[in-house]
Chain A
């Protein structure tokens, strides 16, 4: 992976292509979540009271803690790239590992949140005793969307952790030097996207 692929005439061009490819792909990912935010807007306009009530039921402490964790992890990722630019590979590896650790903590907290909801009888699809007890109002769209959005986001977190893990492994083996950091940069770009999406999920489902 370290050398220049023969269809590129310079390493700069190759790095530029790889970065642009990642940015375009991230654009595609954004549209995926844009669909979910559209659904949120449409259903919130239809059931404003139920959405407000749903937000009151969300686990604010865990959700906000997760926001902080993702923000910290993102800064670790950014620092890792910076350390790599300065050819400090050991520090970069450590920072990337810290990023992944934050990701794992995020998933654990998310899982705890889900189990709290399940304990209250809140399951996706309006199934569970919570919805049976509130049959007069339509809480289903809020909670189904909540599980769908956070679930899809959690899936992206998991993929992000895997991508970072493979990148760290390659970095540890010495595959990327200071002049060949775009694979690491790309992996962290993906991680920042995961973070960025959460920055919008958090106010919509926990604060608003």
Chain B
């Protein structure tokens, strides 16, 4: 059935809802869908903030010398950008917002296993995020998002309050991970067995394992830095027998798997979008599942490649290099599976698929540069240069952010029951992709030419490429703003989408859009597989007149 009014109006049908009631219903909700939306709003604000910092950084680099900020402010800005983007946006974005909304729908449950804990995680996140931003806004922090000792133990900036905030956010990450693992284990509808789980849910499962096992190690490393800064414990102080590189080992034992916390959910989104818009079974469901678990596992064994120049035996460097390349093997399995799913599919070219095309190009590009920097001999040349900055932005922005946008456009009708303008959406997708490439491709060249990261000034011969990068960032920002405008317009004025505008067969589409308060009027039998597009399905809605008939 098609519902065009907003969900909150259905909850309070009699009188127009009062602001206070509405606030209570939303802010204290235990409904996984609403918590997902709350997370979406919060993490999007973090994205806007982190993006603004990035734009300022790029403007600073328009000229070789001082442009708009002082060197000290520049240090604080890139730290703010990194911390905001990594902990407040990228790590929580897809799992908390889309994962919360969709995982129960995809497994035929009416809730997550621990709804109250879910709400608590959200408020812990908000509290921690506010703590981080206040600490960094008022006190400033200039260590970079990696907080390397010894500088972080003596930096005269707000180290302790910021780390306390990140520590708090870490709790939210762990509790969310626990909740998803238990939900997927215990809340599946009777017929949804493990090997019938939608691929996005598998991705969230793999991500949750990393969240639960890696985050405590980050907590420990941050705790030690805090004790050092506040009470001079000096566990990593070389003068007292400590080893500063040990901090890096502990930090990257978390922070490298954290990359997979960002990219695995993104890959889950891509798997869904590819299958839906090709109207075709994934070429190999099992390959994607095993590759997801493979990345989650091997991701724990690659951290050493961040320390190739910090003093490491040739054997260790080789081992970490090979293990890092294994991640590329699993990723390549996924990429080829997506490509062969698209091949001969009944392609319906809509905005989410366009973002996925951008993802495939940028992710492969970023991934290949990742194989390059996982090779010690090459990394020595590129270490701490813009080459590395470009590489991880290709994965985190070109990969994770692009997939986040794909998810946003793919599930927008599911959440709002409305359709957006494809024309605006596609234009925005094109702007984002081109803008992204223009921003970060020059940084590969800059890094290869020797421009170090986190430097305030640069030699004049790097000006042209830096200007190109800055112009690209404006294009990227305009694309994001256009996407925001398109969706905001659709949210207010968009035409009703119907329950299943993409004609997807995945489980979350087998209920109304937006779903009723308890997810399903009646839990469906899920007899038909989530990706079975060959069996005729009587419940499938008729084709829209605009959509093309698959041949």
Q: Which residues of B contact A47 (CB under 8 A)?
A: 241
Q: Is there contact, CB below 8 Å, between A35 and B221?
A: yes
Task: Mark B234-246 against chain A: 1 for CB-CB distance below 8 A, else 0.
Answer: 1100001111001
Interface residue B109 (Cβ < 8 Å from any Cβ of A): yes
Q: Is there contact, CB below 8 Å, between A35 and B181?
A: no
Closest A residue to B180 by CB, please name it: A24
CA distance A29 to B174 in the complex (A): 10
Closest B residue to A7 by CB, please name it: B111
Name the distance in Å between A151's Cβ and chain B's nearest Cβ.
Answer: 9
Name the distance in Å between B134's Cβ and chain A's nearest Cβ.
Answer: 26
CA distance A138 to B216 in the complex (A): 28
* Interface pick from B139-147, B225-233, B403-411, B465-473: B225-233
Interface residue A208 (Cβ < 8 Å from any Cβ of B): no
Name the distance in Å between A27's Cβ and chain B's nearest Cβ.
Answer: 6
* Interface pick from B182-190, B419-427, B438-446: B182-190
Interface residue B215 (Cβ < 8 Å from any Cβ of A): yes
- Contacts A21-B182, A24-B181 given; does A46 touch B214 at CB 8 Å: no
Q: Which residues of A contact B114 (CB under 8 A)?
A: 17, 21
Q: Is there contact, CB below 8 Å, between B212 and A27?
A: yes
Name the distance in Å between B94's Cβ and chain A's nearest Cβ.
Answer: 20
CA distance A25 to B232 in the complex (A): 31
Q: Which residues of B contact A21 (CB under 8 A)?
A: 113-114, 178-179, 182
Binding site for B on A (CB under 8 A): 5, 7, 13, 16-17, 20-21, 24-25, 27-29, 31-32, 34-36, 38-39, 42-43, 46-47, 50, 124-127, 138, 140-141, 144-145, 148
Name the distance in Å between A183's Cβ and chain B's nearest Cβ.
Answer: 13
Binding site for A on B (CB under 8 A): 109-111, 113-115, 174, 177-179, 181-182, 185-187, 212-217, 219-221, 224, 227-228, 231-235, 240-243, 246, 249-250, 253
Q: Is there contact, CB below 8 Å, between B235 and A148?
A: yes
Name the distance in Å between B413's Cβ and chain A's nearest Cβ.
Answer: 25
Q: Which residues of B contact A127 (CB under 8 A)?
A: 232
Q: Which residues of B contact A124 (CB under 8 A)?
A: 227, 231, 233
CA distance A144 to B241 in the complex (A): 11
Pairs A-B, 9 closest by C-beta atoms? A138-B241, A7-B111, A32-B216, A125-B233, A140-B240, A35-B220, A17-B186, A17-B113, A31-B216
Q: Which residues of B contact A144 (CB under 8 A)?
A: 233-235, 240
Q: Is there contact, CB below 8 Å, between A148 and B227?
A: yes
Name the distance in Å between B194's Cβ and chain A's nearest Cβ.
Answer: 15
Name the distance in Å between B110's Cβ and chain A's nearest Cβ.
Answer: 5
Q: Is there contact, CB below 8 Å, between A32 and B219?
A: yes
Q: Which residues of B contact A141 (CB under 8 A)?
A: 235, 240-242
